[in-house]
Chains A and B, each alone.
Chain A
Amino acid sequence: MTANSITTPRALSQEERRAMLSVRQLMWLRFRRNRLAIAGCAILAVMYLTMLLAGFVAPYSVTTTHERYVSAAPTQLHLVDADGRLQWPPFVYGITSKTDPHTFRKIYTPNPQEVYPIRFFGRGETYHLLGPLQTDIHLYIVDDPGKIFLMGTDRNGRDLFSRIIWGSRISLTVGLVGVLLSLTIGAFLGTVSGYFGGAIDMVVQRAIEVISNIPQIPLWLALAAAVPSNWDPVKVYFGIAVVLSLVTWGGLARQVRGIVLGLRDSDFVIAARYTNCSTFRILSRHLLPNTFSHVLVIATLAIPGMILGETALSFLGLGIRPPLTSWGVLLNEAQQVRVLLQQPWSLIPALFVLATVVSFNFVGDGLRDAADPFSGE
């Protein structure tokens, strides 16, 4: 076999195959190796799945009140019964309530005489699973008159865990909608501004400058206060999403503009211009796909800010309002220190906010490292 002979085609080695992967495939491989990012993805997947199956996972509905169990502490789960034997499934005791003669507050004591085993996939209240499809099967429930309040109840006797699950529908989506709106305006204006330059660029730049020179939190507060409280809940939802996006589109636009400026004078764009590509085609077919990975990173990293913003606004009473529930609304109860001290469990929604924000940060960081060819190793 001399160096001159034509080598017969042979199976590609793993290195050769790897050298031929597309950019997107390489990104995915790099992303997959980031354990934190995968963990974040897993957590988010669980959260969003739970959100979709809210009625199933939550034992009670958002509004179900258990009037006799106002401000009750989280129900304890037991695995060992009175005789010291291990039981499965876990069970809860019944709750007897008494009113303290001095403080007039209710005191709850577990009653070992009443034993209610947890029923997995048991029957409870009816709810809509998908559209018109109704069912009454819940992930876990106890038979009446037993109650299971995994995270306690609020001042109206509503199960906090159920409300957290149902509230995730707002908290987990408002951020996405907000980022989507922000991106739509921001990416569009950023691209146009970066590509065409000149007067358009100046105008957009000035607009961004004005917005970014008003402090974020005060502007959010002021705009949120403008959303009328007598609007129907869906309008309020979108109103808050719009408010969230109005303050952040500037930053997104600026970053997209930076990317477009970098790409505008690259050879492939100039080549496209020389072949008489219409501007629209250049933007949509050449520029936009190249900005995709960066924009994805920027968007993912912007979501935590949105979620925290909605939580803060709702906490203050300026964001999502009842009857809609979000984690921020649930935390609103904790705003009064007096109430908070009686019901410290009302801070639990904060853990869900934390988990969501941290997961999005992990995923965003992972995406950014995967897109950046100079990281790691």
Chain B
Amino acid sequence: MLEYIFRRLLISIPLLFVIAIIGFITMELPQGDYVTRYIAQLEASGQSGARERGAELRRVYRLDDPAYARFVTWISRFVRGDFGDSFYYQKPVKTLISQRLPLTLALTIPCFLISWAIGISLGIFSATHQYSLADNVLTVVAFLGLGLPAFLVALVLIVATWQITGDVYTGLFSAQYANAPWSLVKVADLAKHLVIPVGAVVFSGMAWVMRVMRGNLLDELRVNYVQATRAKGVPERVVIWKHAVRNAFHPLVMALGGVLAWLLSGTAIVEQVIGLPTLGPLFIQATMEQDVYLSGTILILLSSLLVFGNLLADIGLALLDPRIRYD
């Protein structure tokens, strides 16, 4: 087992290297670069000296160097912890990311926990009460959750709350609390603003978990050992939870591998739509502006989390299922 973990960790290094290359190429694909966009923007707003400023940026960031040279420079700095600077913000990438990380996690961790808790419970309930009215209602809800992307749900919620309360719940705080000192009222305001993003994300997230759990549990309940366990006089409750649910969990554990990466990027578009100062909008903007060090670093960061998360998931699977042994 330890050997397996060690081997996987070893392989992840070249894997991440290849991903870095692919990431870099992807960032390079759009025509032009940040500077050309910058120049165009300055000129459009009528400012002078755009070209000179552009040339200056080019020189400082050595943007005229050939691609592989820039890649090598970037990677060699990356592994030493220097992730480069953002052109747009003129600040180190590391600072930008760490600034936004806490808030991002404060949003996504509760979303994840709530949607999985609800999804698993409702999935088990649905499977054990198949074809009942509740099951049918939950199925409809699940299909709605799967068919409506979270960002659209968020928009609908914004409109709905505006129609009902007259307030627009975008951003983190209402205007009057944005720069105010922390107080109970401010926390309440924050909570009110978080309801929409959390609600939207949870609605979509729990739909998927519920469907998968329901499907898996239904499949497990058909396997012979369930009936054999009942035949021993074991209560139904135990048959379902100790035996069937535990076996049904398998595919969900595999899905958990992506959770770490999701915690940082899965809610990006919702965050963008609501206007939260989190990593999602940062990445979207960086991609569109070709702020390559920023977007590239985030991409590598997310991929590393995915690689690591998958490893943890595989270990978890081996712990859960004695049939899997990695020797």
Contacts and interface: CB of A to CB of B under 8 A. Distances in A.
A347 B155 contact: yes
Contact of B272 (A316, A362, A374): A316
A334 B155 CA distance: 8
B199 to A, nearest CB: 16
B176 to A, nearest CB: 18
A213 B303 contact: yes
Of residues A221, A344, A361, which shows the largest number of chain B Cβ atoms within 10 Å of its Cβ?
A221
Contacts of A335: 273
B151 A218 contact: no
A361 B146 contact: yes
A354 to B, nearest CB: 4
Interface residues of B, number: 50
B8 to A, nearest CB: 11
Contact of A213 (B27, B156, B307): B307
A57 interface: no
Nearest to A356: B147
B159 A228 contact: no
Contacts of B113: none
A171 B283 CA distance: 25
Contact of B303 (A215, A334, A337, A344): A215
Contact of B170 (A210, A225, A337, A354): A337
A192 interface: no
Interface of A: 209-210, 213-215, 217-219, 221-223, 225-226, 228, 304, 308, 311-312, 315-318, 331, 334-335, 337, 340-341, 344, 347, 350, 353-355, 357-358, 361-362, 374
28 contacts: A210-B18, A210-B22, A213-B307, A213-B310, A214-B299, A215-B303, A217-B268, A218-B283, A218-B302, A221-B283, A221-B287, A222-B26, A222-B27, A225-B288, A226-B29, A311-B149, A312-B151, A316-B284, A337-B170, A337-B275, A340-B155, A341-B158, A341-B162, A347-B155, A350-B148, A354-B147, A357-B146, A358-B146
Interface of B: 15, 18-19, 22-23, 26-27, 29-31, 143-144, 146-149, 151-152, 155-156, 158-159, 162-163, 168, 170, 222, 258, 261-262, 265-266, 268-269, 272-273, 275, 283-284, 287-288, 290, 295, 298-299, 302-303, 306-307, 310
Q: Nearest 10 A-B pairs (CB), nearest first?
A: A226-B29, A357-B147, A354-B147, A358-B147, A350-B152, A222-B26, A215-B302, A215-B261, A344-B159, A358-B143
